[in-house]
């Protein structure tokens, strides 16, 4: 039997490349002197695509060029970089990497929340700049007495909630519908959740349905003592509205791990003292990224060995 040929448009972890090299004929598109000419040569033989956000949007234009494509294995639990609907319509399986990063992202979310409220990065800079001997660091806001709203109570949202329960803070949530067996208060709109919260944590998937879900109305509802934490996708927040809200004092502060045009972050956000900025590192530990990469490889292996994927996305879950 012919060994399946896999295309990797952009680099992934060395462990993923090694695993795929051992099991498939792996083509590294980014290494080619002329990617378009190379792709035209190998495209008719490509049956699998190992994708990540670094590869850009994987949509119908890719599917048109890869007539033998059977599966797109995406590196990440979010897969808004892949047009899963278009893939499903063509009978192409799409997989992601859920589960293996939930705890890591939840840890980071709580850390970002505490860093934002207690101004930990600002305090670190204060010491490094030699300012402590001159005057004490200003008093910070606190987590004490705050109400937490979680926008998107999926697996990661629940992991965040479990951690925050230990802090003794009330928790509420909004999602597409009320979840059975969940004891947290439910609000039927993001604005209603924001109005009932002092901290709004965004952990919804990206994509068309959640684009700019957190807009000026939601930020106004969050209020002058409110803090936004976004570990979802940059597209979920209206970034211009967020900048305006921070500048006007409509909200107190923000902790952001994701942005609309990564890796480019607006100067307005970078210059604000009440904002903590991270370079999209929610799942970026060595252990978790290795687990994500392993799942990419195992999805491809399972598909070509058994015709079944391990973690299909909902749009393609009934295939195979």
Q: Of the listed 28, 119, 233, 298, which one is catalytic?
A: 233
| DSSP classification of residue 252 | S
Instruction: Tell me which residue of 119, 85, 310, 109 sits closest to 209, measured CA to CA.
Output: 85
Active site residue 262: yes
Alpha-carbon distance of 63 to 69, in angstroms, equals 7
**Adjacency order of strands within the sheet including 275-277:** 185-186, 171-174, 148-151, 199-202, 227-230, 253-256, 275-277
Instruction: Tell me which residue of 155, 161, 152 sits closest to 236, measured CA to CA.
Output: 152
Instruction: Tell me which residue of 57, 61, 60, 68 sits closest to 7, measured CA to CA.
Output: 68
Q: Of the listed 118, 147, 163, 280, which one is catalytic?
A: 280
Active site residue 280: yes
Name every residue whose Cβ is closer than 8 Å to that of residue 315 and which is 6 or more positions away in sequence: 84, 85, 87, 88, 94
Alpha-carbon distance of 176 to 155, in angstroms, equals 14
Q: Of the listed 22, 225, 247, 262, which one is catalytic?
A: 262
Catalytic residue numbers read 233, 262, 280
């Amino acid at each position: 039997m012919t060994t399946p040929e896999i295309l990797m448009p952009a680099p992934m972890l060395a462990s993923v490349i090694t695993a795929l090299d051992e099991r498939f004929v792996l083509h590294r598109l980014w290494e080619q002197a002329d990617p378009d000419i190379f792709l035209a040569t190998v495209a008719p033989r490509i049956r699998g695509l190992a994708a990540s956000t670094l590869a850009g949007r994987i949509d119908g234009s890719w599917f048109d060029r890869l007539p033998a494509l059977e599966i797109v294995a995406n590196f990440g639990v979010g897969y808004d970089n892949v047009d899963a609907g278009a893939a499903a319509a063509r009978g192409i399986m799409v997989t992601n990497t859920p589960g293996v990063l939930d705890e890591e992202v939840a840890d980071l979310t709580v850390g970002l929340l505490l860093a934002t409220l207690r101004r930990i990065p600002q305090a670190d800079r204060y010491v490094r700049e030699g300012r402590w001997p001159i005057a004490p660091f200003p008093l910070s806001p606190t987590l004490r007495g705050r109400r937490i709203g979680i926008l998107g109570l999926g697996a990661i949202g629940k992991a965040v909630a479990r951690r925050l329960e230990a802090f003794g803070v009330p928790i509420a949530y909004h999602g597409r519908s009320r979840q059975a067996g969940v004891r947290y208060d439910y609000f039927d709109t993001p604005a209603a959740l924001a109005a009932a919260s002092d901290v709004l944590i965004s952990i919804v998937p990206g994509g068309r349905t959640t684009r700019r879900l957190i807009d000026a109305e939601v930020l106004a509802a969050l209020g002058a003592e409110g803090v936004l934490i976004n570990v979802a996708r940059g597209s979920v927040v209206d970034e211009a509205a967020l900048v305006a809200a921070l500048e006007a004092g409509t909200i107190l502060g923000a902790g952001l791990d994701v942005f609309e045009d990564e890796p480019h972050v607006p100067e307005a956000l970078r210059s604000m003292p009440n904002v903590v900025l991270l370079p999209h590192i929610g799942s970026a530990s060595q252990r978790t990224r290795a687990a994500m990469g392993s799942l990419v490889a195992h999805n491809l292996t399972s598909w070509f060995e058994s015709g079944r994927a391990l973690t299909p996305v909902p749009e393609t879950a009934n295939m195979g």
